[in-house]
A = this chain, B = another copy of it.
Amino acid sequence: MKLPAKIEYAVRAVLELALRSESGKPVPLDLLVKTQQIPAQFLVQLLSRLKHAGLVETVRGVAGGYALAKHPSKITLADVFRTIDSHILELPKPSSRKVDSEAARLFSGIWTDISCTLSKQLEVTLEELTARLRDGQLTYQI
C-alpha cells in the first residue's frame, strides 16, 4: 500500500532518534538528513509537528539538535502517524451511512474491520521496533 512520503520520513527520523537516544545528546538536523536522505526543509516541518505533539524535543544552539521527548517505550508508530496525518487512523466516516443500502452497510463493516486492524498493528513502540534489530527479525528483507 502506498504511504505518504511525509509519514515514512517522520517514522524513519523518529526511529533514527530512538537508535541514538542512549547517547543522551541531541541529533542535529544535518545528521538526520544525511542518514535518512530526506529533504532538509521538509523534514523540519515534520519534526516541528512532532515537537508540538510532545514526541520530540529540540535543543538550540551550537551543539543542538533533536531528541525524543519520551522514552522509546512510550512512543508508538500510531502516535507518529496521528501527528503527521491526523486523518490516517480515523474510522470510516459516516459518509456511506447516509446511503441506507445493504451494500453500503456491508462495505462500512468490512472497512471498519480493516481500519481497526491497522490501528492495532501501529500500536507498537519504538523500543519494540529497535529491539528487532538485535533479535535479527528482518530476515524477509532483501
Contacts and interface: CB of A to CB of B under 8 A. Distances in A.
A138 interface: yes
Interface in A1-54: 1-3, 8, 11-13, 15-16, 19, 35-37
Interface residues of A, number: 53
Nearest to A118: B1
Nearest to A129: B106
A105 interface: yes
Contacts of A12: 96, 99, 101, 103-104, 107
A35 B101 contact: yes
Contacts of A102: 15, 19, 133
A65 interface: no
B141 A108 contact: yes
Contacts of A60: none
- Most chain B CB neighbours (cut-off 10 Å) among A113, A122, A141: A141
A116 to B, nearest CB: 9
A64 interface: no
A106 B97 CA distance: 38
Contacts of A77: 110
A107 B138 contact: no
